[in-house]
């Protein structure tokens, strides 16, 4: 069929769209009833009668590769000095107290509002690293997948694509230390976690908008044996499904891993498991030169959550070296102190600038515009982390994209090759992201989500209950 004989029902014409080879003019986007792109045609000869026109330049939607939905409700509530040595571990105590109070209805309301915030910010997919599974006393809900199901349902109703990663949390520290009382809502064996995952898949089967994987919480929360049996079990049902893990966020866990396991966490994992592009190593913050090279070579995705890592005082990932080694990365909003991929990319570059006292550190000879390089790389790495066909405007990919406001003061009058620089680095006023589509459906229209008033009212009720 030629472009003029195809149906215009699932079609959009963009004066400019960011395709895998950069900005292209007069792009016709067409997709099927399932929300998968069928044709992406640049230099389309003429606009078809009846095809709507995008209100501005079109970018692929960004995957958010790391989220703990319930933590959205505590953003802004830990920014005070509780003791002289406030750090990640004292923050974790506060977070555990919060996790102890969440109810299924409360989690549903928080997740629904969070996912609407993500969509409005231009995240069109999320990887949910979900670890609160049980009742406050540690007993199972009648449906073992009760809480995970609430999160999956929130993704469905908001319209965001989801990779649900139920978390295996088994131990409180290296050497298979027994879990603490404040971890009892999290605890599973590989078998009980795979059983939970099975129940979840029965209730919410995989689709173009939804995929499953697993998340061993961290090397301190699993053992080599339990990690192996989790992966073996996963591969029986879902071969090749994504595997995410918190790897080296804090120097204390690197030290403990060295002391008890005899190796740094990234090296330990790479030495023992076939780590490849199905893996996402979240917070690969503390890596030495050898680990940086080996991680890049593995094809795994480094999951960088810059705003959270800055908020928690984690440290700075050696992004410059890692990108030089062709390492793959994506970004996530993690604790949701901010929900904005633009801020994640900006902070990724700014961390390097502050350390090296240079500018445009993460640009390269081939990609001199740092924002364009980081945006393209985060799309690619984020897409790998989701395990879904997302992250590019190309036939066969999910019809997920953002429409920029060409009149916005961050990009108006700029040439197209400076648009992404303005989008990522300028912090002026409201977001330049005007409309958002997922699966070909416009879920954000002129910065408003179709459900936001109702979802916000429910979020306020849930938050008031949590803070009571
Ligand atoms: Zn995390």
> How far is 95 from 107, CA to CA, in rounded Å?
14
Which residue's entry shows tokens 């999910």?
A: 398
Instruction: Supply the pLDDT for residue 1.
Output: 45
What is the residue-averaged pLDDT of the chain? Answer: 95
The two tokens of residue 121 are 């910010």
Instruction: Supply the pLDDT for residue 91.
Output: 85
* Contact assessment for residue 89 and residue 431, using Cβ atoms and an 8 Å cutoff: no
Within the chain, how many helices (H) and strands (E) appear? 14, 17
* pLDDT tens-digit readout, 214-249: 999 999 999 999 999 999 999 999 999 999 999 999
Domains and CATH numbers, the chain: 11-60+396-452 (2.30.40.10), 63-386 (3.20.20.140)
Q: How far, in whole angstroms, is CA 437 from its chain's centroid? A: 17
Distance 12 CA to ligand 1 centre (A): 37
Instruction: Supply the pLDDT for residue 47.
Output: 65
Count other Cβ atoms within 10 Å, centred on residue 372: 20
The two tokens of residue 387 are 């395990």
> How far is 464 from 468, CA to CA, in rounded Å?
6
* pLDDT tens-digit readout, 323-343: 999 999 999 999 999 999 999
> How far is 305 from 126, CA to CA, in rounded Å?
13
Catalytic (active-site) positions:
283, 334
Give the up-direction half-sphere exposure of residue 7: CA atoms within 13 A in the CB hemisphere.
6
pTM of the model: 0.97
Distance 222 CA to ligand 1 centre (A): 15
Distance 284 CA to ligand 1 centre (A): 11
> How far is 216 from 167, CA to CA, in rounded Å?
6
Count other Cβ atoms within 10 Å, centred on residue 143: 14
The two tokens of residue 401 are 């994209």
The two tokens of residue 405 are 């406001």
Distance 100 CA to ligand 1 centre (A): 17
The two tokens of residue 394 are 């190309």
Instruction: Supply the pLDDT for residue 4.
Output: 46
Distance 312 CA to ligand 1 centre (A): 11
> How far is 10 from 52, CA to CA, in rounded Å?
10
């Amino acid at each position: 069929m030629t472009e003029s004989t195809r149906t215009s029902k699932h079609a959009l014409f963009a004066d400019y769209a960011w395709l895998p080879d950069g900005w292209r003019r007069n792009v016709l986007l067409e997709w099927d009833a399932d929300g998968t792109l069928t044709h992406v045609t640049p230099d389309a000869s003429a606009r078809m009668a009846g095809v709507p026109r995008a209100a501005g330049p079109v970018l692929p939607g960004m995957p958010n590769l790391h989220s703990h939905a319930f933590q959205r409700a505590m953003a802004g509530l830990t920014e005070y000095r509780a003791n002289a040595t406030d750090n990640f571990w004292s923050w974790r105590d506060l977070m555990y107290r919060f996790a102890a109070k969440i109810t299924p209805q409360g989690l549903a309301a928080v997740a629904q509002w969070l996912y609407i915030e993500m969509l409005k910010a231009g995240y069109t997919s999320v990887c949910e690293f979900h670890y609160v599974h049980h009742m406050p006393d540690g007993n199972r809900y009648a449906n073992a997948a009760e809480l995970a199901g609430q999160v999956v349902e929130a993704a469905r109703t908001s319209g965001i694509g989801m990779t649900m990663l139920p978390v295996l949390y088994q131990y409180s520290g290296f050497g298979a230390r027994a879990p603490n009382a404040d971890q009892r809502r999290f605890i599973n064996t590989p078998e009980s976690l795979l059983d939970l995952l099975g129940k979840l898949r029965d209730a919410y089967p995989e689709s173009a908008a939804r995929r499953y994987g697993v998340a061993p919480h961290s090397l301190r929360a699993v053992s080599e044996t339990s990690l192996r049996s989790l992966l073996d079990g996963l591969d029986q049902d879902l071969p090749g499904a994504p595997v995410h893990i918190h790897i080296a966020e804090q120097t204390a866990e690197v030290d403990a891993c060295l002391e008890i396991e005899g190796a740094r966490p990234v090296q330990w994992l790479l030495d023992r498991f076939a780590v490849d592009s199905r893996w996402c190593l979240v917070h690969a913050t503390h890596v030495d030169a050898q680990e940086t090279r080996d991680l890049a070579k593995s094809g795994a995705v480094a999951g960088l959550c810059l705003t959270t890592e800055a908020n928690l005082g984690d440290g700075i990932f050696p992004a410059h070296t890692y990108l030089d080694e062709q390492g793959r990365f994506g970004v996530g909003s993690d604790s949701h102190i901010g929900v904005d991929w633009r801020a994640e990319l900006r902070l990724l570059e700014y961390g390097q600038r502050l350390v090296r006292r240079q500018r445009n550190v993460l640009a390269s000879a081939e990609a001199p515009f740092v924002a364009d390089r980081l945006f393209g790389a985060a799309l690619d790495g984020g897409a790998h982390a989701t395990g879904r066909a997302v992250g590019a405007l190309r036939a066969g990919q999910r019809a997920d994209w953002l429409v920029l406001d060409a009149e916005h003061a961050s990009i108006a009058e700029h040439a197209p090759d400076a648009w992404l620089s303005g989008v990522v680095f300028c912090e002026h006023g409201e977001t330049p992201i005007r409309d958002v589509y997922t699966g070909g459906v416009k879920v954000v229209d002129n910065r408003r989500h179709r459900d936001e008033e109702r979802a916000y009212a429910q979020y306020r009720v849930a938050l008031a209950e949590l803070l009571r």
